[in-house]
Homo-oligomer: A and B are copies of this chain.
Amino acid sequence: MVSPRAQSYAQRALKQKNPTAKLLLETMERKKSNLAVSVDVTKTKDFLAVIDVVGPYTHIDILEDFDEGLIRQLQDLSKKHDFVIFEDRKFADIGNTVALQYSSGVHKIASWSHITNAHPVPGPSIITGLASVGLPLGRGLLLLAEMSTKGALTTGVYCEEAVRMARTRRDFVIGFIAQRRMEAVGLLQGEVGDDDEDFLILSPGVGLHAKGDTMGQQYRTPKEVVLGSGCDLIIVGRGIYGNDLSLTQAIAERARQYMQEGWEAYMQRITTS
């Protein structure tokens, strides 16, 4: 059996049972991109402008002028630029509450976001609650198995338990927010990994040069993340959209650069693994 690390995104797409995992891998292969852009801005106008320049992904809950019209525009852009939508909500409550947060409220995330994510900290009930809403819609969930911030508590047993939890719900959990591959993590003594297991690994904390910000974020390069650690997608935010949202040329150029470095690292990985 070949490890997911050594297979192409196209090969892995063929075997995925969750429709969102399949869609994501096919899209990555088609666009030759393993870049997820995190657009953390607070105005709809800026949000749509940046996305129109670069591609996927955001925090919808920091937009001050959110409305349903925005979602339609986001979906239009998703078709125009062929990207998958990932609302990085980081659900972290009990099953009953996350089911309401995912389906209801102002944002109605489940109705438009292909992928969302959750912390495993409340235990398996958070997956049950989200799956009760997302599975009928064909959505996929990522668990936050690791965080890239300084002093994060996602170490040791915490991370192992997250992976074990995911293994019990492979119909809905399509992968992890993490810094490395998880096939070997959380196996009990004598337990052998399932050859069919193929979780997607999405990694934040990626920068071309930068080493950190003042609020505890730490960075690694695309090559370290994709080739070195075998992660599948790089998540980049301020590293692409920067501090001046009007400089669309520069934003597009940075996106292109991350996309290229991420893809080259992936090509090197599947040809040398």
**A residues at B contact (CB < 8 Å):** 40, 42, 59, 61-64, 66, 88, 90, 92-97, 99-101, 104-108, 119-126, 128-129, 144, 147, 149-154, 156-158, 161-162, 165, 213, 215-217, 238
Contact = CB atoms under 8 A, between A and B. Distances in A.
Number of copies of this chain in the oligomer? 2
6 smallest beta-carbon distances between A and B, as pairs: A125-B216, A95-B215, A123-B151, A92-B92, A62-B100, A123-B152
A105 B150 contact: no
Contacts of A61: 61, 101, 105-107
A104 B64 contact: yes
B216 A94 contact: yes
A61 B106 CA distance: 7
By DSSP majority rule, is chain A's interface helix, strand, loop, or mixed?
Answer: loop
Contact of A119 (B95, B119, B125, B213): B119
B121 A150 contact: no
Contacts of A157: 153, 156-157
Contact of A147 (B96, B123, B151): B123
A101 B62 contact: yes
A141 to B, nearest CB: 15
A216 B129 CA distance: 9
Contacts of A105: 42, 61-64, 66
Contact of A153 (B107, B121, B149, B215): B121
Contact of A122 (B59, B120, B123, B147): B147
A121 B121 contact: yes
A59, A125, A153, A238 pick with most chain B CB within 10 angstroms:
A153
A119 B92 contact: yes
Contacts of A88: 93
12 contacts: A40-B100, A61-B107, A88-B93, A90-B93, A92-B119, A94-B149, A95-B213, A96-B213, A96-B217, A120-B153, A122-B149, A122-B216
B215 A125 contact: yes
Nearest to A129: B215
